[in-house]
Structure 1
Amino acid sequence: MTDYFLPCKETVKRIDELCTGLFELWCEERKRVPLAYLLHCWPLTGHDLPAIKRLADAMSDLCQFQAGKITKREWSMMRELIGSAREIVGEPVPRGAATANGVGITWMRARLANAADQVPAVAVADILDGPL
């Protein structure tokens, strides 16, 4: 019997690893504002969808409202975290956000469009890294 929840558990584990990494970075650098956003919704107590959605929303808000306090390394970690969380919840992944499996919704739409001999559903700008 196939365990359909295994990819979800692995993704939640990766999200937790990313949060731990961000927590350690922000504690070391004493960045209180990003820590406040993170600690508002982390640590996760399982793969509860509302908790994962809260985490993705909080990290998206941090990216939107406190962009000056985030380094490039933190941006890449947060993009993967947000993309993975949105993928689990079933929401559209923000442009430029990486996902746990490396395949976002934009890639899926492009693959489906090409299989049906349609015009691709995404443009190059949808795939490039950009602001969240």
Structure 2
Amino acid sequence: MIPYLSGRENEVEYINSICLNLFDTWCENRSVTPLGYLLHCWPLLDSGPRAIRRLGDTLRELRKSHPETLNVKTSQALRELADCVDEILAFGLMPERITANG
């Protein structure tokens, strides 16, 4: 169980590092719309599935609704973040499946 927690903590820390880089970039470039979306869901108040899902959903909505506000680098970071969010949410469900089946 310890490796699961350690891996999850590493994933959450990685998500936070991506968000911090996006925050710095969007502040530097005065990109108000993307910054508004980011600040709606980050910094994470906790590392629970609800907060992680909200972050992923909010930033997916940014990509869908305002693609013109994103450059190649930030679009790539958002895709990487979405993949990480999906992975951590799927990984978080694993113990429930193990318990249900075993």
Q: TM-score range by the shorter chain?
A: 0.7 to 0.9
2:52 maps to which residue?
52
Deviation at 1:2, TM superposition (A): 4.0
**Alpha-carbon deviations, 1:73-116, whole Å to 9, x = none?**
0011111111101111129xxxxxxxxxxxxxxxxxxxxxxxxx
2:84 maps to which residue?
84
How far apart, in 1, do the equivalents of 2:71 and 2:38 lie?
15
| Residue 8 in structure 1 maps to residue 17 in structure 2 | no
How far apart, in 1, do the equivalents of 2:13 and 2:35 lie?
20
User: How big is the alpha-carbon RMSD for the aligned residues of Structure 1 and Structure 2?
Assistant: 1.5
What secondary structure, in the 3-state scheme, does the structure 2 residue paired with 1:53 have?
A: helix
TM-score, length-scaled by structure 2: 0.84
TM-score, length-scaled by structure 1: 0.65
1:21 maps to which residue?
21
2:72 maps to which residue?
72
Higher relative contact order (CA 8 A, sep 6+): 2
What secondary structure, in the 3-state scheme, does the structure 2 residue paired with 1:47 have?
A: coil
How far apart, in 2, do the equivalents of 1:14 and 1:20 lie?
10
The AA in structure 2 aligned to 1:48 is G
How far apart, in 2, do the equivalents of 1:80 and 1:46 lie?
20
For structure 2, the 5+ residue unaligned runs are 92-102
How far apart, in 1, do the equivalents of 2:68 and 2:87 lie?
26
Instruction: Point out the structure with max Rg over C-alpha.
Output: 1
How many residues are paired up? 91
Deviation at 1:46, TM superposition (A): 3.0
Report runs of 4+ in structure 1 exceeding 6 Å deviation: none
